[in-house]
Structure 1
Amino acid sequence: MAILERCLNFIANCDGEKKMRWVVGAAGVGKSAIMQNVAESPKLPVTSLASVFFSINGRHDGTKAIITLSYQLAARSEVYRQVIEYEITRDPSLLQSSMPVQFEKFIIEPFIRNPLLNSAGRVLIIIDGLDECSSTHTQQEILRLISDFCIMHPSSPVVWLIASRPEKHITSFFSRVDVTPAYEKEEILVESDEARADVERFLRDELKEIKMASDSLDPHSEWPEERDLWKLTEAASGLFAYAHTVVRYIRDSNAENPVSQLSDILNVIDNHPMTGIPREEHPMALLDALYARILSGVPNK
C-alpha cells in the first residue's frame, strides 16, 4: 500500500527535529491495520521497536504507556535493559512516577545520554489509537512529551509513528506553531482514490485466499466475478472496517459456504443504495446495514 511505503520511507529517512509522523483519519479507514503492517514489515529499517495499541474496549490507560514501551524495549535490547534495571534498582518509585519523570528516565536519558544506545541504530515507537486512551489531558501530555523530545533532541535515534482520529483537541495540538517542526502528517481520506485502490487490493487478495482454502470452490474458477468485486469495493468506499467485516463474514467456517455468504453481502448492498446520500455524512451506513444482516442470523437463546 502506498501509505505503508510512505511510512516506511519516513522511518528510514527522517532527520533532525521532524521524527514524528501523525497518521490521521476517521474511524474505519484502516489506521490500525497500517500500524500493524509497519510493525510487521520485513523492510522495517530499525534495530528496535516498541508499540502501544490503545482501544476503548481494551488497553486504554495512557498513564502506563511509557512503562509499556520501556518494557518492550528492554526485551529487545540488552544495553537498554541494563540501563533501566539500574535506574529502577536505584529508585523503585519510578514505576509509579508521573509520565514526565518516566519519559525522562526511560526515554531521554537512555537514548540521548547513553552513547551505546544513541549510536546503536534507529528505534521506532508506535502509538496507535491515541484518541482512545484514558483522557484528553493524558493524550495531550503524551504528545507534548514526544514533540518536545523531537525538537530538543534532533540527533535522537527514536522515530515516532502516532495514529489517531482527527479529534478537535488532537488536531489543535498539531496545529501549534511550536509543534509543526516536529512532525509530518499522513491523512487518510475516506473515498480517496488511494484508499479505494488499497481496499480493492485487500479484498482481491483475501477473497483469493478464501477460494483457495474452500472445499466448495474450484481454485481455478472466476470467483468472485469482477462485477461483484467492484460492487464490494464501491460499498467499502475506502473504509477498511467494511472490507475486514466482509472478509470475516465470507470466511466464517460456521456458515454454509463462501458463495452464499458473498451473496448475502451483495443483497445487503443492493437493498441499501447510497444514491443521493452523502457518504461523508453517513460513512458507516453500509457497514451498519451489514452488521444488521449479521446479527439477524444469530439464533435467539
Structure 2
Amino acid sequence: MIEEQDLRFPPPRCDPETRQEIQTELLEWISCKDLEKPVCWVHGPAGVGKSAIAQTIAELSESHEVLGASFFFSRNHGERSRPAYLVPTIAYQLASSIPELNDTIGRVVRKKPAVLHSSVDIQFKELFVNTCRLAILLHGEGWMRQPRVIIIDGLDECMGTSLQQGIISLIASTLKENFPFRFLIFSRPEPHIREAFEIDSLEPHLKQLGLDDSWETRRDIKKTSLLKKLVDSLSTLTLFSSLLMRNIHIQLNSLQSSLD
C-alpha cells in the first residue's frame, strides 16, 4: 500500500488567504445531504493550484469527519501514476475511517485475496460497489449519517487515457446505487476526460468548476510567492541576528577575560 504522506512531503496546500471562494463552495457541496450532483469535476490548466486545493479540501474534510478517502495521481512518481493502486488505496482508507466498511471490505479481501491484483474494474466492483451493497444489507439504508467525499486528484496524470476514461465510467456506474459518497475529481480539461464526463448517464449528476489563468488566480499565486519570500527573508534575518548576537557574546566574553 502506498504511503502517500511519504511520497508527497510536504504536500501542496492553499495559503489560508487564497482560494477562499472555491474552498467554501466545495465544502458546502460536500456537506449537503440532499444532493442531485454527487460528482464534482474541478478542472484547469497546469499551474493554477488544483493539487493545492485538493489537498486543502482533503484536510478540511478530514477535520470535519466527512473525508472518505483521497488519492493523488502523479506522473513523477511511478507507483502513483498507475491505476492499479487507486482502488486498493481508497478501499484501505474507507476501511480505516468507516467501521461498517471495515467489516465488509475485510470480508471481501479474506474471501478473495487475489482481488488486490485484479483489474481496476474488478477491484472497484468488489472493493467498493459490493462492499457498499453489503453494508446497506447489514446496516440499512441509513448506515452512514453523513455523506463522505472521495477525492481523486490529477486524473490526467493516471497512466493511459483509456484508463482515465474508465475510472470516470466506473464512478458513473455507481450513481444509480445512491451510495452515500461524493466524488471530487481534479484534472486538466483534456478532451478525452471532458468527453467521458459528458456522457448522458453522468452529465445530469455532474457539477463542474473551472479554474483558469485569471487575474484572481495570478493574484493568489503572487500572494503565496510573496509570503514565501517574506518567510525566507525573515528566516535569513533571524539567522543573521543569531550570528550577530553570538559574535557579540563572544566579544564580551573575550573582553571580560582580558579585564580579569
TM bracket, shorter-chain basis? 0.7 to 0.9
Give the Cα separation in 2 of the matches to 1:68 and 1:193: 37
Match of 1:153 among 177, 180, 200: 177
Q: Report the equivalent of 1:179.
A: 202
Q: Report the equivalent of 2:87.
A: 66
CA offsets per residue over residues 36-65 of structure 1, 9 Å max, x none?
111112785444431111111111111321
Amino acid across the alignment from 1:101: I
Amino acid across the alignment from 1:105: E
Give the Cα separation in 2 of the matches to 1:149 and 1:45: 25
Give the Cα separation in 1 of the matches to 2:237 and 2:149: 42
Bigger Cα Rg: 2
Match of 1:35 among 43, 54, 73: 54
Quick one: structure 1 residues 63 and 182, their matched pair in 2 at CA, closer, same or farther if it must change by over 3 Å? Answer: farther
Amino acid across the alignment from 1:8: L
Answer yes or no: is 1:128 the counterpart of 2:153: yes
Give the Cα separation in 2 of the matches to 1:173 and 1:185: 13
Q: Is the 8 A contact 1:38 1:44 kept in 2?
A: no
Alignment: residue pair count: 216
Q: Report the equivalent of 2:258.
A: none
The TM-score normalised by the length of structure 1 is 0.65
Give the Cα separation in 1 of the matches to 2:72 and 2:126: 22
Give the Cα separation in 2 of the matches to 1:46 and 1:38: 12
What's the RMSD between the two structures over aligned residues? 2.5
CA offsets per residue over residues 57-80 of structure 1, 9 Å max, x none?
111111321111111222223332
Deviation at 1:20, TM superposition (A): 1.0
Q: Report the equivalent of 1:227.
A: none
Secondary structure of 2:150 counterpart: strand
Quick one: structure 1 residues 157 and 64, their matched pair in 2 at CA, closer, same or farther if it must change by over 3 Å? Answer: same
Q: Report the equivalent of 2:221.
A: 199
Q: Report the equivalent of 1:297.
A: none
User: Is 24-33 or 94-103 further displaced after alignment?
Assistant: 94-103
Amino acid across the alignment from 1:24: H
The TM-score normalised by the length of structure 2 is 0.74
| Structure with larger RCO (C-alpha < 8 A, sep 6+) | 2
Answer yes or no: is 1:6 the counterpart of 2:21: no
- Structure 1 residue runs without a partner (length 5+): 220-301
Give the Cα separation in 2 of the matches to 1:44 and 1:157: 19
Give the Cα separation in 2 of the matches to 1:77 and 1:132: 28
Give the Cα separation in 2 of the matches to 1:184 and 1:46: 22
Answer yes or no: is 1:189 the counterpart of 2:179: no
Within-5 A mapping of 1:12-23 = 12-13=31-32, 15-23=34-42
Deviation at 1:210, TM superposition (A): 3.1
Secondary structure of 1:176 counterpart: coil
Within-5 A mapping of 1:204-223 = 204-215=226-237
Q: Is the 8 A contact 2:108 2:131 kept in 1?
A: no
Quick one: structure 1 residues 177 and 195, their matched pair in 2 at CA, closer, same or farther if it must change by over 3 Å? Answer: same
CA offsets per residue over residues 251-278 of structure 1, 9 Å max, x none?
xxxxxxxxxxxxxxxxxxxxxxxxxxxx
CA offsets per residue over residues 207-231 of structure 1, 9 Å max, x none?
4433443326999xxxxxxxxxxxx
Q: Structure 1 or 2: larger helix share?
A: 2
Give the Cα separation in 1 of the matches to 2:82 and 2:61: 30
CA offsets per residue over residues 79-99 of structure 1, 9 Å max, x none?
322211111112222222232
